[in-house]
Structure 1
Amino acid sequence: MNFIYNVFLNLTMVLLSPFIAAFLALKKKNRESFSERLGIISNYTLANLKQKPVMWFHAASVGETQALIPVLREIKRLQPGYNIFVTTTSNNGKKRIIRELPDVISHACLLPLDTDIIMRGFVKKIAPSVLVIVETEIWPNLILAASKRRAPIIMINGRISRKSFGLYRFFRFFFKGILEKFTVLVMQSEKMAVRLKALGIRDSKMIMIKNTKYSADSGSAAGKYEFQTGGKAVVIGGSIRKGEEKNVIKAFAPHSNKAVLFFAPRHLNGIGEIEKMIQKSGLEYAKWSEINTKKSIVID
């Protein structure tokens, strides 16, 4: 099954190559991020990483990196003899971890494409002493390559959504083999553990613990800020998707004298456009990282 997976990935890369070329031609930052997707890492970074054993942590995006923050702080305190290396699936996740933990992590980059050749080479270069995966980022070639190097593989904040569970159950013969490579699976709840057991995973591999995402404290001034709203109502615009921003701002504007809006977009790459919309509406605002007592706050 892993052979079929790799054939599918390689064919997809070939078919998408014209679009990838156009994407790379558009912006310099696209080329920089794609080099990371190819597993390219500087000799200088590798030399620094190899000065100590490497603990490798992988998270998907901003939410998952948020869950990592308290974990990494505590590990750095308890295990200063390790270099902490972090990969993320999204650029926003990478930016968040670099911004929040500059003195904790040794290096952060985007996770390379999960093809056999790229991932085997990348794992060999990093040579992790342990691989820790947040939630259920199941990248078969990453897990298999780490397993072949006999690195313990740990899942924290483990979760399997109903949709993913249906997929994993359908391809149980494949995913069971991948999940069996984990040394320990730390799951968010009993429900998640039950789903793993339904896939054939042994109880002895599983531990249940609360979601670290809700223990996270960014450590920034914004994270410690106590909002004084003067008795005004608080309106939460949470997980707002592209195209919904105007409606939220339009609905809030007539009530801006008696309420405060917390605007939390689902994806952060549209923050600039949201700021323009708020400015056009005439509302005062401040970003979370530039917190103030204004009418609206965009959480970035």
Structure 2
Amino acid sequence: MVILLYNLFQIAGLFLFFPLLIIIALVIPKYRGRVPPRLGIGTEKILGNLPDRQQKIWIHALSVGEVLSAQPLVKGLRKTYPEATLIFSATTKTGEELAQQTMKNEVDLFVPFPFDIRFIVKKIISQINPDLFILIETDFWPNFLHTLDEQNIPAILVNGRISKVSYRNYKKFRMIFLPMFNTFRFISMQTAYDAHKMIRFGVKPDLVKALGNLKYDAVLPETVGWDLEHRPTAFYRQQFGIPLEKTVWIAGSTHPGEEKIILSAYKRLSLLFPDIFLIIAPRKVERGREIKEMAAGMGLTVRRRTAPFQDEEIPGAPLLILDTMGELTRMYSFCDIAFVGGSLVPDGGHNPLEPAAFGKPVLFGPYMDDFVEISTDLLDKKAAISCHDEDELFENLNALLINANLRDRMGEKAQSLVLQHRGVTKRHLEIIDIILNAKSLAGQPVPGLD
């Protein structure tokens, strides 16, 4: 009944907004190539390139964060199942671009993820006909998951997490979410706390296990393909035009409302530490120009990574806007101090393990709802510092800039925590192997998981 109402509302919305959707797809370049295939238009041509192999595994991620989580699993799948066809989809354009950039050697075909309209979903799922569907963390769509269930295609959720906001929404729309969750053959949660919340919500206990966070494996240098022994700090700093004697502070994945705080703290610190070099990497790279203008308005000399030759200040600019995709992790490898954004404003934070894996002291704001366990672990190990406002950010950065030994100690503890949690990918691959070789029914426990 709930699905029926959901589809009736969708049909009404489709009639109302379909003309607008077509106009958007035709007029706005960034949607031109993405909207038609998500509507099922032209998918025959895309899926015509699908290799004809024995097993097909479809992995789906929502956006950049989920794509990063998927990377070690995709690499593990390719190594474990060299003859299988690996198919990958991402909902957002930035997620899709990052996946194509970082997993092109492992994935056989990148496909559009369909809008959750029943006949479109049925068409694309039937065309691909995967042996297994793997959902990374989130992006739940009723028609999609119920269609997989109807076609007896096993679906698993890996690296699941439940923030406070998500849990409230799940409870509010329980009639939609609970039937969806119970279609999964297996649900892997990042923490025991997340698993407990999922069971308390009503998901069958036999379907849920805490296997750890894939991001612990994703952030390791070898996972992203950099051999740091052959690419030392000097090499990377030279690439980005950063003198070796500079102390580099990176503010990664920043959100609107944070840059002003960061720039103000930096301006105060630069009076005390002339050798400090700040890199701001906005979560949305298209905000590079906006942040440059903000910094210039505060009297700061700044340059953008995407426009080095257009910036007159480039020779001496001690402030870099990293408005590019895929370079932040490399930056973390040679910084001295890292701040993780999305945390000074109530946006849930970003992954603090990326700088931690490289042995860097980590700072973040009070809003780390999406990374509660990881941020708590880092704080408990004294590998990270939580800063509530500009003054606390300034004071803690000041303490770290004065004391190189403190930076080193925090960095060692951070890296030790990451190494301690290795092996999450291996645990997931063991479960996937059982599911691929089991003929269990949807909603029933998979043999051998106990």
TM bucket normalised to smaller? 0.7 to 0.9
Cα distance between partner residues in 2 of 1:94 and 1:140: 22
Identify which range, 227-236 or 158-167, moves more after superposition: 227-236
- Does 2:289 correspond to 1:283? no
* Closer/same/farther in 2, CA of residues 105 and 274 from structure 1, 3 Å limit: farther
Residue aligning to 1:252 = 266
Cα distance between partner residues in 2 of 1:54 and 1:141: 21
Identify which range, 265-274 or 104-113, moves more after superposition: 265-274
Cα distance between partner residues in 2 of 1:106 and 1:278: 43
Residue aligning to 1:189 = 191
Identify which range, 254-263 or 65-74, moves more after superposition: 254-263
| Shift, 1:62, TM fit | 0.3
Residue aligning to 1:146 = 148
Report the secondary structure of 1:262's partner residue: strand
Cα distance between partner residues in 2 of 1:24 and 1:31: 4
| Aligned pair partner of 1:126 in 115, 125, 128 | 128
| Aligned pair partner of 2:224 in 218, 223, 231 | 218
Q: Deviations along 1:196-253, whole A, 9 cap, x unmatched? A: 111211221112122112321322579x965468565443323322465466446535
Equivalenced residues, count: 294
- Does 2:33 correspond to 1:32? yes
| Shift, 1:135, TM fit | 0.6
Within 5 A, what are the aligned runs for 1:71-220? 71-216=73-218, 217-220=223-226
Q: Deviations along 1:161-191, whole A, 9 cap, x unmatched? A: 2112122223323322111110010100111
- Does 2:259 correspond to 1:266? no
Report the secondary structure of 1:110's partner residue: coil
Cα distance between partner residues in 1 of 2:132 and 2:296: 47
Residue identity opposite 1:185 in structure 2: I
| Shift, 1:84, TM fit | 1.0
| Aligned pair partner of 2:255 in 233, 238, 241 | 241
More strand by share: 1
Identify which range, 16-25 or 98-107, moves more after superposition: 16-25
Cα distance between partner residues in 2 of 1:120 and 1:253: 56
* Closer/same/farther in 2, CA of residues 41 and 276 from structure 1, 3 Å limit: farther
Identify which range, 45-54 or 149-158, moves more after superposition: 45-54
Residue aligning to 2:238 = none
* Closer/same/farther in 2, CA of residues 286 and 269 from structure 1, 3 Å limit: closer
| Shift, 1:266, TM fit | 2.0
C-alpha contact (below 8 Å) 1:68/1:134 kept by paired residues: yes
Cα distance between partner residues in 2 of 1:21 and 1:38: 10
* TM-score of the pair, normalised by structure 1: 0.85
Cα distance between partner residues in 1 of 2:288 and 2:94: 12
Q: Deviations along 1:103-154, whole A, 9 cap, x unmatched? A: 1111223311111111111111111110000112211111111112211111
Identify which range, 13-22 or 249-258, moves more after superposition: 249-258
- Give percent identity, aligned residues only: 26
* Closer/same/farther in 2, CA of residues 247 and 18 from structure 1, 3 Å limit: farther
C-alpha contact (below 8 Å) 1:278/1:285 kept by paired residues: no
| Shift, 1:276, TM fit | 7.4
| Shift, 1:34, TM fit | 0.6
* Closer/same/farther in 2, CA of residues 271 and 149 from structure 1, 3 Å limit: farther
Cα distance between partner residues in 2 of 1:4 and 1:225: 57
* Closer/same/farther in 2, CA of residues 240 and 212 from structure 1, 3 Å limit: same
* Closer/same/farther in 2, CA of residues 279 and 43 from structure 1, 3 Å limit: farther
Report the secondary structure of 2:279's partner residue: strand
Q: Deviations along 1:82-113, whole A, 9 cap, x unmatched? A: 11111111000000010001111112233111
Report the secondary structure of 1:49's partner residue: coil
* Closer/same/farther in 2, CA of residues 101 and 8 from structure 1, 3 Å limit: same
* TM-score of the pair, normalised by structure 2: 0.58
Cα distance between partner residues in 2 of 1:78 and 1:11: 45
